[in-house]
Structure 1
């Protein structure tokens, strides 16, 4: 009981919604906000109404609005507006029968202003409407019980509140089009006329042709307490059929709606006022008719990168069209009051993955924690690779979402059910194989080389250097040699473990003839002896195998871990520690999704004393760290593009260069368009970019070149974004997804070679190393979380799709992931 006496929000700043409410109301706000906040945090998008389409247009007040004179709603007055349609519970699949939503935002500015000239985030008014005249429960007390209840307990609430069933039958719809539905605010607002007279207000939105409401279901089909109906087995409509229809209607002639008001005078009778605010009771339309107030004409679809960050909230309203606040959980106004707080918390968790201490008691005294205290670096400044301190728990903002955990678990071998992140899972597979008498190739699915009868032929060797898991390594020869290109690996400074075989240097040489590359020779230094082999020599196949081993080591450490995982970690850390409000978060954050999590997981799985690379290769953990640091110390976003590494001659089967250059061009266009639209906001919060630049420079391992990571101006920031998006999406997808193609067959390519005559050689240990290589690369290559073509912004997807003929010979466009998350 003591907890009920103490108001848990006494220490808060004092938002009007939490300043004068009873303790029970404070607790309910906290409890429900936690639930919705966690949903938003895990989804990475809105907790409800998750997938939607926003259109822009104009709202024009009708010539003779039959309502009391109002400050805003003058006859003929025009406003720019946004209108978002979505499914209430947040299903992506439109064919799941659900409530349907329409959210109207009235903006400041000229009605005909282009979208780039409008502030989309500071509305005059938000009106949240949905199908059905009523909501299922009348107040915060009953709604909190519904939210917290199991399906079994919700069944009891259906008996206690018999209104729920018929209300759900009116809310849940199976429409042909969003535009053929009627939408209601359900909850009640306050209307104040120019004369100061107060009225209760409810909104309705209908199609301009005044067509009847549609999409009703048979109430007998309800499966309450399940508050939606699954897609019917014979329903073949596309998953986004409603979104597609809305977009096409807006683009092909536009969509028109009529906004209507129902008004009801505020009474001296409190019981009558409570009934007026009770959202489970529809207002009699003969007594309180729906009167036309404005016509809404929608003509333009808002790009998803601008639409997704919008935060709609019934609290966004002027005083003369305001949300009604409540004091207790039993007042009928408490439901809309509660909703306004929960929506804001959900938005904060979606954007920042951190709680809002002003509105909810999260156990935090004061404001949100300083991001620099949450995101701390590992090791010593300037000495260790700048990365998140993997010894600390992951901040909530970057924890893996359930969809990722499920995807990851399904592709472990053996498969794991999703739950907590599987930290091990791969360990022990080798022992299981050994006990069953199996070898990795027999156990695991076939990779590319196992299916190629020509895998040992020279032309296949050339093809994999062009298009395999370690691309872009050719160097042009400027001397008069019999070859024009080389790929060289220098291992001299790295110590090899006993019984391990790794050349001190190895160089493959290639001739360019008739738009093709041909393998000329391989030169290497091994055990202090220099050898050169050519096709047909007795040790020619041994030379190629030796090269593939050296390539594998440097692919994993330099190309995969270095250029993508660890290199991007330093940009992600500088971003998370500084960027909160700058619009650049809309561009960059989706490309950091999962990075800190997988890098923390990889600290044990890939690196470290028991990591895959030190255990399976002939390099110790210390040597692996040296190779990695050497690579990071050479990398900068400045003055870099794939043009630098592209072959100077046109090689017919050089798929990587064509794909890389095409993707880079697409990202340049995409980023440039974003900066044009968001330049004002980027400059307004430039101090956050200065903080990001400071962290990049001060933690860099570039030594005297550390200033090359500085962000001096907006052009630097643009180049950084292009670089980060290219590496986190296309380049990582290429070098990661192709690992099993090249490394899933230890007989063809193993990350470690071993001297069978050395006293330290142990064939069982080598077999275990090979097993770990195969099973790990299978997992890394198979997890496909957040592909660009599924979840990416339309501006990026469209550009990649248009270039797919140049990209797809090298990598399927649908397998390009948004971020380095595996």
Structure 2
């Protein structure tokens, strides 16, 4: 059935005016957000947009020899890449707090440029699902001494549930967690067919995931503070990872999940709050990643990742408005100015110091 707006010229004019207006609002928001982060966060405070607390490492990635997914020239069977990764903890500078943990991968051993980057967090779903919801998330943070997002969690229970599933207070290692890209990307293989792709990383040896908690109450998730009588140090996860890599290294399995595209696509396919049915869209092994060396604090701090570091056939999907689910990756793709401002701040003010071991806990900044 044809929509009424197609019947008359005024209807068509109104429709396209709204479409253009929606996109212009997204375009303006993305650039204002990037500029604001650069001027009020990255440059004056020498901070990333998130995940300042982290450790980088190097190794190699090898595409599986017998892929069980549609052929793609970039993911040629057996192809090897130098690899740099960075594990991190969201928001706070204390490994013992109830943080979302992250893993970013770069298919090159460089600080930024690469043919392919991925950024992933623990938890299968996200705390926000569009540019509009992200702005509400940021506005309602209300952080004070490790307690945050109470107002946001009251208004958006779906975000709260995702936060509960993503937090890993009692993780024993960065190496035994599951990490997910929740907003899908394009996958256009050698057959020319358009698909959508999600990615995840899991331990290659099947080690059970640590730090998963059941029946976590809402207040526990808002209160991310270090627990009373905590014996683990502020950097315990980073120290554990250094020791692990020095002794035995680490091995991960990168997997891909593919969803065929269609002309009348349900927008919920792109919703990062919706988990694709694994019986219909199973996870396929994509590559083995082996890590054999960690990097020092300065090199870890200078390492950055971007959704722009991807081939055109594997890149960011287009977004049309601030309510579009793909608008999250659109924001990420237009935040490059913040990274450049942070690097400039290091030259002007000096490198941020390593995180001290056992003082200034429950904070998200240096020197408090």
Same fold (TM over 0.5): yes
Q: Is the 8 A contact 1:97 1:173 kept in 2?
A: yes
Which one has more relative contact order, counting CA pairs under 8 Å at least 6 apart? 2
> In structure 1, what is the Cα distance between the partners aligned to 2:43 and 2:104?
22
Could you say which structure has the higher helix fraction?
A: 1
The 3 A distance-change label for structure 1 pair 289 and 248 is same
The match for 1:315 among 308, 315, 321 is 308
Identify the residue that residue 796 of structure 1 maps to in structure 2.
none
How big is each residue's C-alpha offset from its partner over 1:574-617, in whole Å with a ceiling of 9 and x where there is no partner?
Answer: xxxxxxxxxxx5xxx555x8xxxxxxxxxxxxxxxxxxxxxxxx
Q: Is the 8 A contact 1:222 1:229 kept in 2?
A: no
Following superposition, the deviation at residue 54 of structure 1 comes to 0.8
Following superposition, the deviation at residue 160 of structure 1 comes to 4.4
> In structure 2, what is the Cα distance between the partners aligned to 1:145 and 1:123?
32
> In structure 2, what is the Cα distance between the partners aligned to 1:313 and 1:201?
17
Following superposition, the deviation at residue 319 of structure 1 comes to 0.8
Matched, 1:351 2:352: no
For 1:116-515, what aligned pairs fall within 5 Å after superposition? 119-149=110-140, 151=142, 155=150, 157-174=152-169, 175-223=171-219, 226=222, 229-270=224-265, 272=266, 274-342=267-335, 344-353=336-345
> In structure 1, what is the Cα distance between the partners aligned to 2:117 and 2:21?
24
How many pairs align? 331
Q: Is the 8 A contact 1:20 1:327 kept in 2?
A: no
Q: Is the 8 A contact 2:57 2:292 kept in 1?
A: yes
SS in 1 for 2:324: coil
> In structure 2, what is the Cα distance between the partners aligned to 1:179 and 1:307?
17
> In structure 2, what is the Cα distance between the partners aligned to 1:225 and 1:31?
30
Following superposition, the deviation at residue 165 of structure 1 comes to 1.8
Following superposition, the deviation at residue 73 of structure 1 comes to 1.1
Following superposition, the deviation at residue 24 of structure 1 comes to 1.8
SS in 1 for 2:254: strand
> In structure 2, what is the Cα distance between the partners aligned to 1:21 and 1:314?
23
Could you tell me which runs of 5 or more consecutive residues in structure 2 were left unpaired when the two chains were aligned: 1-19, 357-368
Could you say which structure has the higher strand fraction?
A: 2
Following superposition, the deviation at residue 28 of structure 1 comes to 2.4
Following superposition, the deviation at residue 245 of structure 1 comes to 1.0
Following superposition, the deviation at residue 106 of structure 1 comes to 0.6
TM-score by length of 1: 0.38
Following superposition, the deviation at residue 323 of structure 1 comes to 1.2
> In structure 1, what is the Cα distance between the partners aligned to 2:43 and 2:129?
28
Identify the residue that residue 95 of structure 1 maps to in structure 2.
96
Identify the residue that residue 4 of structure 2 maps to in structure 1.
none
Q: Is the 8 A contact 1:99 1:172 kept in 2?
A: yes
Following superposition, the deviation at residue 311 of structure 1 comes to 2.2
Q: Is the 8 A contact 1:183 1:206 kept in 2?
A: yes
SS in 2 for 1:212: coil
> In structure 2, what is the Cα distance between the partners aligned to 1:304 and 1:157?
33
Following superposition, the deviation at residue 337 of structure 1 comes to 1.1
The 3 A distance-change label for structure 1 pair 225 and 172 is closer
SS in 2 for 1:168: helix
Q: Is the 8 A contact 2:188 2:313 kept in 1?
A: yes
Following superposition, the deviation at residue 352 of structure 1 comes to 2.1
The 3 A distance-change label for structure 1 pair 327 and 209 is same
SS in 1 for 2:334: helix
SS in 2 for 1:258: strand
Identify the residue that residue 375 of structure 1 maps to in structure 2.
none
SS in 2 for 1:173: coil
SS in 1 for 2:133: helix
Could you tell me which runs of 5 or more consecutive residues in structure 1 were left unpaired when the two chains were aligned: 1-18, 108-117, 354-396, 398-584, 594-785, 793-822
SS in 2 for 1:128: strand
Identify the residue that residue 43 of structure 2 maps to in structure 1.
41
Following superposition, the deviation at residue 225 of structure 1 comes to 7.8
RMSD: 2.6
How big is each residue's C-alpha offset from its partner over 1:138-190, in whole Å with a ceiling of 9 and x where there is no partner?
Answer: 21112112212354996554454331121111111120111111000111101
Identify the residue that residue 58 of structure 2 maps to in structure 1.
56
For 1:11-90, what aligned pairs fall within 5 Å after superposition? 22-37=23-38, 38-89=40-91
